[in-house]
Amino acid sequence: MKVGFIGAGKMAKALCQGFISTGLINKSEILASDINPSKLKEISRLGVQTTSCNREVVKKNDIVYVAVKPPLVREVLREVSPVVNPSNLFVSIAAGITTKTMEEVLPKGCRVIRVMPNIAVVVQAGACAYTPGTSAKNEDVEVVTQMLTCVGSVEEIPEELMDTVTGLSGNGPAYGFITIQGLADGGVKMGLNREQSTRLAAQLLLGAAKMVLGIDSHPEQMKDEVCSPGGTSIHALHKLEKSGFRAALVDAVEAGTLRSKELGKLFNKTAD
């Protein structure tokens, strides 16, 4: 399989690393473009091919991931439009940018899929969602699903909920990282060394996630199993509830979702 990337930043690199490490794609079959030579140098360390020409990526690859920031998606799609051919499939990972916008800018009938992955694709533990454009075929959905399945979980989501996915799982690793840091700080405060405390914090979240995904039981029931009457967990949970922990998480997902919608309002405009 040959794959191109327009934009060779953090997410392109994470996806490339994920795809290469699963053996799904040979590193020499990936071509990435960027306007920043230092980004090209960085991604080339993975063994992928690089170019400063976005059009070259489209000419040489059927599947093209669009991995630039949301304000730049229209610009790069306009730039490559003259060289788009019927075998191209465009996969955008940009927050807020709709399939309609992509279809408007690209030549009529062009196949597009909007994907929201997260940075954990780098360790094949991404949480990804997609929504196909109006011209995308079943085979397009199949190939993108196959690629994303190699680097994490995949959900088909109606387009109107893609901003919510962005606020939840797209941003989510950042929520996870600061949660791990906070827990590790607690361990350090209570005497553990930083390294062991961080490992324990990360592993406990991994374990909780594996239980929720792997055991047919409600998280509330799992929580109850940890909390002995009069025990340590319920005392700790009381503190979390008093500090509004769950409500803060709801607020975070809401804020991320609304920001994704806001980006959409700003950069899906057709006024150009």
Ligand X SMILES: NC(=O)C1=CN([C@@H]2O[C@H](COP(=O)(O)OP(=O)(O)OC[C@H]3O[C@@H](n4cnc5c(N)ncnc54)[C@H](O)[C@@H]3O)[C@@H](O)[C@H]2O)C=CC1
The partner in contact with residue 80, picked from ligand A1CAB, ligand X, none with C-beta cut-offs of 5 to 8 angstroms by kind, is none
Cα 131 from Cα 93, distance rounded (Å): 11
Closest CA to 95 of 55, 129, 133: 129
Q: Which is nearer to ligand A1CAB, 61 or 264 (CB)?
A: 264
Site for ligand X in 111-140 (CB under 6 A): 116-119
- SS3 letters across 202-216: HHHHHHHHHHHHHCC
Cα 160 from Cα 24, distance rounded (Å): 31
- The reply on whether position 95 binds ligand X by CB under 6 A is yes
Binding positions for NADPH are: 54
Of 2-10, 181-189, 229-237, 241-249, the window that binds ligand X (rule: CB under 6 A) is 2-10
Binding positions are: 6-11, 54, 67-70
Site for ligand X in 52-81 (CB under 6 A): 54, 67-70, 72, 76
Give the three-class secondary structure for 218. coil
Cα 32 from Cα 3, distance rounded (Å): 9
**Backbone φ and ψ of 240, nearest 5°:** -65, -45
| Residue 42-81 contact track with ligand A1CAB, rule CB under 6 A, x = bound | ----------------------------------------
Residue 64's H or E segment, with its range, is strand 63-66
171, 197, 198, 257: residue in contact with ligand A1CAB (rule CB under 6 A): 171
Beta bridge pairs of residue 113: 91, 132
Site for ligand X in 243-272 (CB under 6 A): none
Q: Which is nearer to ligand X, 31 or 197 (CB)?
A: 31
Q: Which residue has the tokens 């994907």?
A: 115
Q: Closest approach of Cβ 95 to ligand A1CAB, in Å?
A: 4
Residue nearest to ligand X (CB): 9
Cα 192 from Cα 196, distance rounded (Å): 7
Cα 212 from Cα 230, distance rounded (Å): 25
Q: Closest approach of Cβ 174 to ligand A1CAB, in Å?
A: 7
Of 59-67, 164-172, 186-194, 232-240, the window that binds ligand A1CAB (rule: CB under 6 A) is 164-172
Q: Closest approach of Cβ 43 to ligand X, in Å?
A: 9
Site for ligand X in 160-219 (CB under 6 A): 170
- SS3 letters across 113-179: EEEECCHHHHHCCEEEEEEECCCCCHHHHHHHHHHHHHCEEEEECCHHHHHHHHHHHHCHHHHHHHH
36, 85, 203, 243: residue in contact with ligand X (rule CB under 6 A): 36
Residues in contact with ligand A1CAB by CB under 6 A are 95, 166, 170-171
Residues in contact with ligand X by CB under 6 A are 6-12, 33-36, 39, 54, 67-70, 72, 76, 93-95, 116-119, 170
